[in-house]
Structure 1
Amino acid sequence: MTILSVENLTLSYRSGREWREVVHNVSFTLGRGEMLAFVGESGSGKTTTAQAIIGLLADNARRDGGSIRLNGEDLSQWSAKRLDSLRGARISLVPQDPGNSLNPVKTVGAQVGEILRLHQKIGKAECDQQVLALLTKVGLSHPEQRMKQFPHQLSGGMQQRVLIAIAIALRPEVIIADEPTSALDVTVQKRILDLLDVLRRESGTAVLFVTHDLALAAQRADRLLVFRQGEVQEHGVTADVVHAPQHAYTRQLLSDVQGQRLTIAPVAGRPLASPAIQAVGISKRFALGKGHQLQALDNVSFAVQRGSTHALVGESGSGKTTLARILLGFEQADSGEVIIDNIHATTLTHEARRQLRQKIQFVYQNPFASLDPRQTLFQIIEEPLKNFARISKAERAARVESVTRRVALPPDLLTRTARELSGGQRQRVAIARALILEPTILVLDEATSALDVTVQAQILALLQQLQQQLGLTYLFITHDLATVRRIAHSVTVLRSGTVVEHGAVETLFAAPQNDYTRELIAAIPHFSPLTKEYA
């Protein structure tokens, strides 16, 4: 039974005074209990198409033609007020960016409860019970405490789980999931997608799954729809598309998934007299209110050798980002010591710490919140040079254009603002901004989580090339163990703020000693088109 039907959908964006068509005559159907995955490069039109279905196009976007039907009703002609009654109750959206989707001045419990109270006549006690059940269902730790917290007190992955709880609250007919697990570790990712599978079986909920992760789409979706530059390149049953792709672009995507394993740059023979980064006994607590405290980090120690890549992995909320912020001086540890390039960073003055950031740069997890919407991309990338480097305007321009090309962004985008870019393009801008000062250490917090497989491979290859040429040191914070296996030399596994395992990547993947590490590795999505198996 068809629930959603889209025919010849055409969409445009306005840039200045001109309209540019970005989605061209897209058609597809979605049946009861089915999962259809949109896959393709960042900027290919996946998210724009999904937003059009629920009437949430950006202010500078418009529908030029085509129809969108839910159970035969043409939604494309509905008013905004009428669409409001539909959202959440019949069609729910899990957006890509939790940081911009949650209200910063309302508690998590209030925001999940709001969707329940809008569509159900229930009292506060019953509402609170349902909120608690939903937060538990999506795997949020300490759900009773999380209900009382504000979004800024949660990690990006935790915020995403709150959005998923809101989306599933009323068991809608259709869930549009736009990169719903990109900020989640593999075990929580599996739990969330398993939950969507249960909803599909029990309630017949249809899922439109927008993702850049082709391996994950192949594992979960019934059908795949491959986008490129706003057009459908291929559409069919998942097994058919994976095992016998008809279009050259689809074959390239599949090749990129299989060929992403990089040759790790050897570090033997380099001077390793002292580590580039040392964390010694780092502990940190946060107050949760009413006398409650969260032990975010508990006596965490590790070292990163010069010219190597060290990965910090673990569940969302395990303390990875907090640890990175302490290393960069954005947070102060309750105890312990941080040594960066032989400099004892915990005792530095504010100005000395600022100067140290020329050596150690940070790529944030969320490119939507970390880029100034008022600046052009050129201004965003150039800004660190104006703050730290006394060079001419012409030299700044040359370096901006050079680093822009390095991260696979066309230089003609430099005159645009961040709002005109896809999520993956924004993340490449953030990486370019971090590289512009030519630092010796780069801390990357989920730096490739928003990128499609083709661009992710390019970025990882770029990082490896820079490391080989310049001897750069990377601290790679991620929930993606597949990426860790491709790029890292050593790894520390965190769980609830404590180190559960650490060592060389090859050793840890071949013979993990901790049950939690084994669980993480087992949850990595994978498929093998050449052997006609995917799991």
Structure 2
Amino acid sequence: MSAVTPLLRVEHLSLSYRSGHQWRQVVHDVSFSLQAGEMVALVGESGSGKTTTAQAIIGLMAENGRRDGGEIRLHGENIADWPQQRLDRLRGVRISLVPQDPGNSLNPVKTIGAQVDEILRLHSALNGEQRRSRVVELLTRVGLSHPQQRIDQYPHQLSGGMKQRVLIAIALALSPDIIIADEPTSALDVTVQKRILDLLDALRRESGTAVLFVTHDLALAAERADRIMVFRHGEIQETAPAAQLVSAPQHAYTRQLLQDAAPRAHSRRLPERQAAPAIRASNISKAFALGKNQRLQALSDVSVQVARASTHALVGESGSGKTTLARILLGFEQADSGSVTLDGLSVGGLRGEALRQLRRKIQFVYQNPFASLDPRQTLLQIVEEPLRNFEKLSAAERRKRVEAVIARVALPEEILSRSARELSGGQRQRVALARALILNPEILVLDEATSALDVTVQAQILQLLQQLQNELGLTYLFITHDLATVRHLADSVTVLRAGSVVESGDVVTLFTAPQHAYTRELIAAIPQFSPRMRASA
């Protein structure tokens, strides 16, 4: 890298959060730099301080956060003490943030087009027609399907991955000097993930845009970043060029992360098929109105069958219909045609108390733990809520059940007195999993349930899911874009594209001999656990 003044320089940064009347320091004396055109990855477990550091750089810490000391220098100028009004003029123009949570980052009452257009209207000289054309171009660049139609949709009409792509489009709109990308691809399938990261690489080459890449995916960091910083407990444990860190890690914690992130061989046995599967969806079709006499065909004649005590993965790009199918299975949406049976019981005809009792047997772990956990409740109240709805237990008995399930998902008991807003994304996802497990369901629908978890916790959760399945005979429908996890966890898999099944079968056959070109494309796009060979030019 050049010896000129770094584009960004963080010096001795320390940050704290207030909980009640106590301040707890979560980032301790952190220093690093970022050069023009460079990608630096911040990796580490959930709660390690990665996101807090990234938010502090752009002046977006939570209200209960503060900077205890240190400087943040942009082009050599300390911006750490700038007032919010001055930072507002900086954001989006010179530094853009792609936040971790797409659900809470888009305005629910404004269309997608209006939200992408806003930054152009405020900071460019383009007229309305030029801005609309630019919005469509941006949505196309980030791989959003049907961009002309998406302009008039609202956030609730998009999947989590589609919302994330809208946020990336907003961040790219003005080609800023720095993009702070906080888990920017955690909700994206591997093909779109590759497209987004290729796009960031193009911006780095063409415009000298620097990228601070916050991620729990060490394989992705190794493949894409120039340098990697390993965070733990708010401190930098190790910093090195990506190739050096992967080949010769110096810190024991880095070696543990590498071990947890290494590809794992699939060794699961296929369960014995039974006459009555736990889940059977037959010829499901579903369309949604987009407004202005337009309709989006979300599912077209989709059939899926899941054997009892097995794990069936539903994979495909964002917007392929995975979550829509799950909502139909759970009775949250009605199919336009087709049928669903769970444990031999038809879901389509259930109403009222019968449908409520069915949901005791089948539980849903949502993709977005930020939106699915009530910020007004303690974690104890959140996890015990299903017990209040379905079982007559004393407060002490509920507490005992909650403590047991919290321990199962690798969370400490003392966390129960906190609220969801005090947790990292990965911690919130584990709470969501605990809430789903509290009733001992027979079927668990997991919608990107490990996408927010760092590799170490993800390995623990996947091991836990396998243990629970072996002990309790649970059936899992695992909705994901993470094919590495599919290969490790699933017995069988269905590949969806644009609402249609393109391939289905046992996981070993699908990975070793995929029949469809799209399946082969998905497998080829899985990040390889090695630094890329960079062109010398």
Q: Which TM-score band (shorter chain)?
A: over 0.9
Deviates more, 1:254-263 or 1:360-369: 254-263
> Separation in 2 of the partners of 1:224 and 1:199?
20
TM-score by length of 1: 0.98
Partner amino acid for 2:85?
K
1:250 corresponds in structure 2 to 254
> Separation in 2 of the partners of 1:29 and 1:288?
45
Q: What secondary structure, in the 3-state scheme, does the structure 2 residue paired with 1:379 have?
A: helix
2:360 is the counterpart of 1:361: no
Query: In the TM superposition, what whole-angstrom CA distance separates every residue of 1:372-430 from its partner, at most 9, and x where no partner exists?
Result: 00000010000000000122222211110000000001111000000000000000000
Q: What secondary structure, in the 3-state scheme, does the structure 1 residue paired with 2:15 have?
A: strand
Query: In the TM superposition, what whole-angstrom CA distance separates every residue of 1:494-515 from its partner, at most 9, and x where no partner exists?
Result: 0000000000000000000000
Partner amino acid for 1:344?
S
Q: What secondary structure, in the 3-state scheme, does the structure 2 residue paired with 1:76 have?
A: coil
1:305 corresponds in structure 2 to 307
> Separation in 1 of the partners of 2:259 and 2:166?
35
2:400 corresponds in structure 1 to 398
Query: In the TM superposition, what whole-angstrom CA distance separates every residue of 1:507-531 from its partner, at most 9, and x where no partner exists?
Result: 00000000000000000002159xx
State how 1:146-165 maps to structure 2 within 5 Å: 146-165=150-169
1:107 corresponds in structure 2 to 111
- Tell me if structure 2 keeps the 8 A contact 1:97–1:368: yes
> Separation in 1 of the partners of 2:471 and 2:315?
26
> Separation in 1 of the partners of 2:380 and 2:168?
35
TM-score by length of 2: 0.97
- Tell me if structure 1 keeps the 8 A contact 2:44–2:230: yes
Select which of 36, 52, 55 maps to 1:48.
Answer: 52
Query: In the TM superposition, what whole-angstrom CA distance separates every residue of 1:262-286 from its partner, at most 9, and x where no partner exists?
Result: 6425524xx8231000001100000
Query: In the TM superposition, what whole-angstrom CA distance separates every residue of 1:102-156 from its partner, at most 9, and x where no partner exists?
Result: 0011111111010011111221111111111111111111110001111111111
Select which of 431, 434, 452 maps to 1:432.
Answer: 434
Select which of 307, 319, 326 maps to 1:317.
Answer: 319
Structure 1 residue 294 displacement after superposition? 0.4
1:497 corresponds in structure 2 to 499
2:226 is the counterpart of 1:222: yes
Structure 1 residue 302 displacement after superposition? 1.2
Select which of 186, 189, 207 maps to 1:185.
Answer: 189
Q: CA RMSD in A?
A: 1.4
2:514 corresponds in structure 1 to 512
Q: What secondary structure, in the 3-state scheme, does the structure 2 residue paired with 1:98 have?
A: coil
Partner amino acid for 2:414?
D
1:413 corresponds in structure 2 to 415
Partner amino acid for 1:235?
T
- Tell me if structure 2 keeps the 8 A contact 1:276–1:341: yes
Q: What secondary structure, in the 3-state scheme, does the structure 2 residue paired with 1:449 have?
A: coil
Structure 2: stretches of 5+ with no match in the other structure: none
Query: In the TM superposition, what whole-angstrom CA distance separates every residue of 1:431-454 from its partner, at most 9, and x where no partner exists?
Result: 000000000000000000000000
2:296 corresponds in structure 1 to 294
Aligned length: 531
- Tell me if structure 1 keeps the 8 A contact 2:223–2:530: no
Partner amino acid for 1:237?
P
- Tell me if structure 2 keeps the 8 A contact 1:226–1:250: yes
1:120 corresponds in structure 2 to 124
Select which of 183, 190, 213 maps to 2:217.
Answer: 213
Partner amino acid for 2:324?
T
2:19 corresponds in structure 1 to 15
Select which of 94, 97, 107 maps to 1:93.
Answer: 97
State how 1:330-341 maps to structure 2 within 5 Å: 330-341=332-343
Structure 1: stretches of 5+ with no match in the other structure: none
Q: Structure 2 vs 1, CA of residues 533 and 172 (structure 1 numbering), >3 Å: closer, same or farther?
A: closer
> Separation in 1 of the partners of 2:264 and 2:227?
24
Q: What secondary structure, in the 3-state scheme, does the structure 2 residue paired with 1:184 have?
A: coil
> Separation in 1 of the partners of 2:264 and 2:519?
22
2:281 corresponds in structure 1 to 279
> Separation in 1 of the partners of 2:305 and 2:140?
36
Structure 1 residue 186 displacement after superposition? 0.1
Query: In the TM superposition, what whole-angstrom CA distance separates every residue of 1:287-322 from its partner, at most 9, and x where no partner exists?
Result: 011111000000100110000000000000000000
- Tell me if structure 1 keeps the 8 A contact 2:281–2:302: yes
Select which of 238, 243, 247 maps to 1:239.
Answer: 243
Query: In the TM superposition, what whole-angstrom CA distance separates every residue of 1:41-66 from its partner, at most 9, and x where no partner exists?
Result: 00000000000000000000000000
2:96 is the counterpart of 1:79: no
Q: What secondary structure, in the 3-state scheme, does the structure 1 residue paired with 2:385 have?
A: helix
